[in-house]
Structures are given as C-alpha cells and as structure tokens.
C-alpha cells in the first residue's frame, strides 16, 4: 500500500520560515535615528543661534570701538556755504549738538534737514575723524523775482523754479508778471507759465557780458498764450516764442537791438516769433 506523504505541513513550515526571514530582513533595513525633518529643524536652529551670537558680538564691538568710544565725541561742526548763509545758521539747521558721538550721527538725516531749507540746493555732510563733522552747502541763486508780499518784498526764484525766500533788496532781477502769486516758500513753479522765462534767463546769464548789456531784462509778462513779452529797462519790447533754440533767438535779438541802436532807428520792439517780420536781427 502506498501512502501519500502529507506535504501541507512542510509547506506551511517553509512559508512561515520565509515570512520570518522577510520580516527580519525588512526590520534590519530600516535605519534607527531622527527623521530628516528634525535634522533640518535642529540645523536651522543651530545656524540661527550662531547668527544671533555673531550679531551680538559685532554689535558689542561696534559700541566698544565706535558709538561708545570717547575718542569720537563730536567737538566741532564745520559749516561752509558757497553763498551768504552764515555758519551759525547752518549749524542750527543741521540739528547737531557738540558732545554727540560722531558715529551716532545719521548723515542722511542731517543732509535731509538741510536740504529741506528752500535756499539750500545741495548739502554734503562728512565725518572728519576723530571729532569733527563737516557740512558743505551749495546755495540756490535767485534769477528772477515775482509776486508782491508784505513790506514791498518779492519772492525770489532760482533757475529750477524754486521759490527761495522773500526779499526787497533784489529789484535788479527780472520781474515775472502773470504767474500765480499764491505761492509758499519752497514751492516749484518751473512747470507753470513762468517756466519758459527761466530757461531764457539761464541762457542769457551764460552769454558774454556785451550781450547781457544789450538785453537788460526788467519785466517779463507770461500772460499771452502765444509768446513771452520781454520788456527791457528802457521799455524796449521783445516778443520771444515759448519754445525754440533759445541761444540762437537771444543772439538774433541782440543783433537786432545793436542795429537799432547803431543806426538810431525809430523802433522800440522786436518780434522773434517764426511769423515775426524782424526775427532775424536787423529790423526792416
């Protein structure tokens, strides 16, 4: 009689053995340690602490060497201007006090305070170690006057159209007639109807003295939409266009005035507009 071998138990044992081996192998392959996220977290915290400590160290060193160093206590403020502003006024406008630490002075803030003054065109503020602050001022130069304010004073305007200050001692400057008189100190009028006049005056100021003597501008009326009405000190009238080659126009006008004076012609005006009859110089 043949007996059939019972293989089911051996198969179960084999299968069970294989499963145990697989579980063991899987267990051995899993590393033991911190997850990747925790590693980056602790690494970031470590770098943050290093950076914070470095910042504290250099802040302490900065105070020790500079802002708390008695060697850099401010003893002198040198203030100079290329115009008429006195040193005492410039020191007052700077807001700097002797005894401050030179490295605690914010140079940008000092410059901003100075340039907020209408008459100051540009300010340069520099440290001069160990104990001096130097302030250099470029003043605005008036090129025209406008408006009537108290005490028969006029507003003074520079070439950039900035309203500088009130004055009654600048009657030699050309007067702008027809511009808005409701202005305040520091306001800019270059984009208004008086802007083209300032451009003419800037070009004329750069001309040779002989040409300036031929065109002593007294009043300029900007009220006409088609031209600028220049009146010289003797009443002579010149109609200039609002745009064009200003240097060439001024040169042609000076030649025309020279011919009128030289030949003693009975003319008291020139029209320098393109449609003008005597825009080239010598009048017809």
| Residue that has been written with the tokens 């984009």 in this structure | 191
pLDDT of residue 129: 85
Which tokens is 101 given? 């630490």
| DSSP SS3 for 206 | coil
| Residue that has been written with the tokens 């305040």 in this structure | 184
Long-range contact set of residues 219-224: C-beta below 8 Å, sequence gap at least 24? 219/174, 219/175, 219/177, 220/144, 220/174, 220/175, 220/176, 220/177, 221/177, 221/178, 222/176, 222/177, 222/178, 222/179, 222/193, 222/194, 222/196, 222/197, 223/177, 223/178, 223/193
Residue 128 to residue 77: CA distance in whole angstroms: 10
- Alpha-carbon radius of gyration of the chain: 41
Confidence class of residue 283 from pLDDT cuts 50, 70 and 90?
A: very low
Confidence class of residue 181 from pLDDT cuts 50, 70 and 90?
A: confident
**What pTM, to 2 d.p., does this model score?**
0.71
Query: pLDDT tens, 31-65?
Result: 555 565 665 666 666 677 777 666 554 454 444 44
What are the backbone dihedrals phi and psi of residue 249, each rounded to the nearest 5 degrees, phi first? Answer: -65, -40
Query: pLDDT tens, 130-180?
Result: 889 999 999 999 999 998 877 789 999 999 999 999 998 899 999 999 998
Q: For the chain, what's the residue count?
A: 284
256 CB-side CA count, 13 A = 26
pLDDT of residue 68: 53
Query: pLDDT tens, 221-259?
Result: 999 988 999 999 999 999 999 999 999 999 999 999 999
Residue 82 to residue 27: CA distance in whole angstroms: 86
Write down all domains in the chain, each with its CATH number in brackets. 73-139 (3.10.20.310), 142-271 (3.40.50)
CA dihedral 34, 36, 39, 41 (to 10 degrees): -120
């Amino acid at each position: 009689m043949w007996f059939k071998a019972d293989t089911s138990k051996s198969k179960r044992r084999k299968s069970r053995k294989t499963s145990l081996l697989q579980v063991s192998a899987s267990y051995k392959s899993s590393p033991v340690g911190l997850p990747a996220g925790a590693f980056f977290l602790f690494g970031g915290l470590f770098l943050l602490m290093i950076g914070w400590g470095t910042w504290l160290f250099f802040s302490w060193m900065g105070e020790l060497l500079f802002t708390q160093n008695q060697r850099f206590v401010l003893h002198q403020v040198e203030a100079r201007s290329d115009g008429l502003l006195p040193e005492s006024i410039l020191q007052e406008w700077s807001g700097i006090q002797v005894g401050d630490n030179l490295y605690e002075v914010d140079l940008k803030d000092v410059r901003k305070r100075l340039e907020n003054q209408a008459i100051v065109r540009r300010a340069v503020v520099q440290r001069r170690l160990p104990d001096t602050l130097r302030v250099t001022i470029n003043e605005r130069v008036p090129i025209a006057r406008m408006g009537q304010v108290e005490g028969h004073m006029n507003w003074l305007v520079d070439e950039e159209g900035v309203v500088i200050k009130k004055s009654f001692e600048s009657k030699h400057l050309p007067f702008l007639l027809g511009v808005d008189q409701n202005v305040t100190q520091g306001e800019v009028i270059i984009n208004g109807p008086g802007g083209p006049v300032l451009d003419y005056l800037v070009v004329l100021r750069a001309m040779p003295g002989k040409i300036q003597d031929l065109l002593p501008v007294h009043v300029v009326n900007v009220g006409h939409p088609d031209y600028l009405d220049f009146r010289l000190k003797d009443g002579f009238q010149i109609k200039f266009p609002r745009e064009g080659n200003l240097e060439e126009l001024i040169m042609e006008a000076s030649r025309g005035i020279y011919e009128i004076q030289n030949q003693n012609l009975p003319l008291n005006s020139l029209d320098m507009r393109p449609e003008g009859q005597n825009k080239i110089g010598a009048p017809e």
